[in-house]
A and B are shown apart, each in its own frame.
Chain A
Amino acid sequence: MSTASPALDHDHDHEHHGPARGLKRWLLTTNHKDIGTLYLLFSLAMFFVGGAMALVIRAELFQPGMQIVDPHFFNQMTTMHALIMVFGAVMPAFVGLANWLIPMMIGAPDMALPRMNNWSFWILPFAFTLLLSTLFIPGGGPAGGWTLYPPLVLQTGQAFPFVILAIHMMGVSSIMGAINVIATILNMRAPGMTLMKMPLFVWTWLITAFLLIAVMPVLAGAVTMLLTDKYFGTSFFNAAGGGDPVLFQHIFWFFGHPEVYIMILPAFGIISHIIPTFARKPLFGYASMVYATASIAFLSFIVWAHHMFTVGMPLAGILFFMYATMLIAVPTGVKVFNWVATMWRGSMTFETPMLFAIAFVILFTIGGFSGLMLSIAPADFQYHDTYFVVAHFHYVLVPGSVFSLMAAAYYWLPKWTGHMYNETLGKVHFWLSVIGVNILFFPQHFLGLAGMPRRIPDYALQFTQFNMISTVGAFIFGLSQLLFLYIVIQTIRGGAKATDQVWDGAKGLEWTLSSPPPYHTFTTAPEVK
C-alpha cells in the first residue's frame, strides 16, 4: 500500500526527553508506548490467570464425577475465566496494540488525550483486583456465568456489589480508551493520511471504538439495574414485581454480540497487515476490507437474539435474527477471500507471525462455520447450551483473537524491543499451540452434538473419552504458553539486533522508525503522499 522512505530518528530533538525513572515512569506516564506496554503486560498476566482457571475447569472435567473442586467453585471458575479472558486479557491486549501502533501508523506524536490514556489503563488493575478478590469473600465470587442472567446472578452473596463495581470500572476504562482512539484517529493523522489511506489495523480499531461506545454503556446500564433490583427494591428483571428476566437477556446480548466483534475486528486488522508482508504483495481489496468491517459492525447490532432462540420468541423475530445472522457470513467471506487472494501467487515465507496468521484464517473460518450452524434456529434448539457452543466461540476467540494477538506480538516485538525473537522457539510455540488448541476444542463439537451440556462439573459416562482428549489438549496449549512468555522475556532482554524495516515486505509508517523507536516519535509530522 505504501512506499515509505526511511525516516530519521527523532530522539535528538532538543525538546525531547526520555522516560522518568523507576516506578514513577509507569504510574504517571502519558506516553503511548509506555501505556501500550502496560496494557500488553497486564493482559498477558490476566491471560495466565484466566488460563489457570481454564485448566482447573478442564482438570475437573478429565473424567466424570467430582475430583478436584466442588461444584460451586467450578461455577465460579467458569464465570471468572470468561470475565477475565474477555475483559482482562483480549480487550486490553488490543487496546495495548492500539496504543503502541495507532500513533505510529498515522504519523501522530502520541494519543490525542494522553492523561486520560493513563487513567484508562490504571483503572484496570484495580477493577481486576476487585473482581479477583471476590473469590475470597464469604460465599465466593460470581458463579452464574459471565452473562450474569437474573434471577440466578442475584443469588450471588456478598461478592455481588464488588462484581458490579468491577464491571463498571472495566466499562469506564474501555469507553475512555475508545474515545481516545477515535479522537486520535479523527484528529491526529499526518498530513496526507486520508481515511482511505489508513492502515487496516487503524480502520478496524476506529470501527471497534465506535462499537465500544455504543454498547459498553448498555452493559453498564444493565448491571446497574441488576444492582438496583438486588439492593434498592426495583423490579427491572423481577417477574414478581412486574419485571421480566428475559429483558435482561435481550439487553445483555445487545451488548454481548457486538462485544464478540470488538474482540475480532482488530484481529482482522492485524491479519490484514501480516499476510501482505509475508506474501510480499499488497493486500487484495483494501477498500472492500474497510466496507466489510463496517458491514460486520452494523450487522452486529441486529443479530443479538440468536443467542436466545430458545426463550420463546415470535416466529417473525426468530426468522429475522436467523437471516440477519447468516448475512454476516457475506462480509466475513469477503475478508477470508481477500486474505487468500493476497496469498495467491505471493512470494510467501513462513515466519512465526505468518504461521499464526494462516492458522487464524483456517481456524477462525471453522469457528465461523459452526456459527452459521448455530444461526439456523431449528438446529440451534438442539445445540443450545451444549459444548457445541463452547467449541464454536472458543474457535473464534482462541485461534481467532488470541492467535492474532500472538501473531501481532511476534510481528511487532522486534520493532518494539529492537531485538529479533528466537525464530525456532517461535515455531515450536506455534506448532504446540495449534496442535494443542485443536485437541482441546475440536472434540467439544462432538460432545455438544451428542448432547453434553455446558457449565457442568460432572457428566454422563459416554462423554468421557472426548473430555479426556480435550483436557490433554488444554494442558498442551496452556503449558505451551509458558514458552511464549519465555520467548517474550528473552526478546526484551536481548537477542539479534532488529533492523528498522524488520520484515522485507513490511509497509507503513511504523517501519520507517528505528527499532526500537525513540520515546517520542513524529513530533514533526511526516508527509504522506
Chain B
Amino acid sequence: MAVKMVDSSTPPEDEAGAARERVARLRRAARRTALALAVLAGAFYFGFILSMMGR
C-alpha cells in the first residue's frame, strides 16, 4: 500500500468542494448502513424476548 501525497494545505475551491461532496455522499451511505444495523440490533433484542415468551 502506498499513499499518493495530496497537498491539501491550500486546496483549490473546487477540490475542497469535491472533497466535501464526497464526504457528504459517504455519510449518506453510512447512515443507511447504521440504520440497517440499528434495526438488526433492535430485532435481536425484541425478537429474543418474544421468543423467550413463547417458550
A residues within 8 Å of B by Cβ? Answer: 1-10, 12-15, 109, 112-113, 116, 175, 178-180, 182-184, 186-188, 192-193, 197, 213-214, 216-218, 220-221, 224-225, 236, 247, 251, 509, 512, 523-529
Contact = CB atoms under 8 A, between A and B. Distances in A.
A14 B8 CA distance: 10
A524 B11 contact: yes
Contacts of A224: 49
Contacts of B11: 13, 524
A190 to B, nearest CB: 8
Interface in B10-55: 10-11, 15-16, 19-20, 22-23, 26-27, 29-31, 33-34, 37-38, 40-42, 44-45, 48-49, 52, 55
A225 B16 contact: no
29 contacts: A7-B3, A8-B6, A8-B9, A9-B9, A10-B9, A14-B16, A113-B34, A116-B34, A179-B37, A180-B34, A182-B37, A186-B33, A187-B33, A188-B23, A188-B26, A192-B1, A216-B41, A217-B44, A217-B48, A218-B44, A225-B49, A251-B52, A509-B3, A512-B3, A524-B6, A524-B15, A526-B3, A526-B5, A528-B3
Nearest to A508: B1
Nearest to A507: B1
Contact of A7 (B5, B10, B30, B49): B5
B52 A221 contact: yes
A184 B6 contact: no
B16 A524 contact: yes
A3 B3 CA distance: 7
A113 B31 CA distance: 7
B34 A7 contact: no
Given A13-B16, A182-B33, A184-B30, A3 B41 contact: no
A224 to B, nearest CB: 6
Contacts of B45: 217-218, 220-221
Please report whether the interface of chain B is mostly helix, strand, loop or mixed according to DSSP: helix
Contacts of A528: 1-3
Contacts of B31: 112-113, 183
* Most chain B beta-carbon neighbours within 10 Å: one of A6, A216, A247, A525: A525
Contacts of A13: 8-11, 16
* Most chain A CB neighbours (cut-off 10 Å) among B3, B26, B27, B30: B3
Contacts of B6: 7-8, 524-527
A18 to B, nearest CB: 16
A180 B34 CA distance: 7
B17 to A, nearest CB: 10
Nearest to B28: A187
Among B22, B38, B49: residue with most chain A CB under 10 A:
B49
Contacts of B16: 13-15, 523-524
Given A13-B16, A14-B16, A217 B3 contact: no
Contacts of A4: 1-3
Nearest to B42: A217
Contacts of A14: 10, 16
Contact of B52 (A182, A183, A217, A225): A225
A109 B33 contact: no
B2 A2 contact: yes
Nearest to A254: B48
Contacts of B2: 2-5, 528-529
Contact of B41 (A12, A180, A217): A217
B5 A6 contact: yes
A349 to B, nearest CB: 24
A112 B49 contact: no
Nearest to A178: B37
A527 B33 contact: no
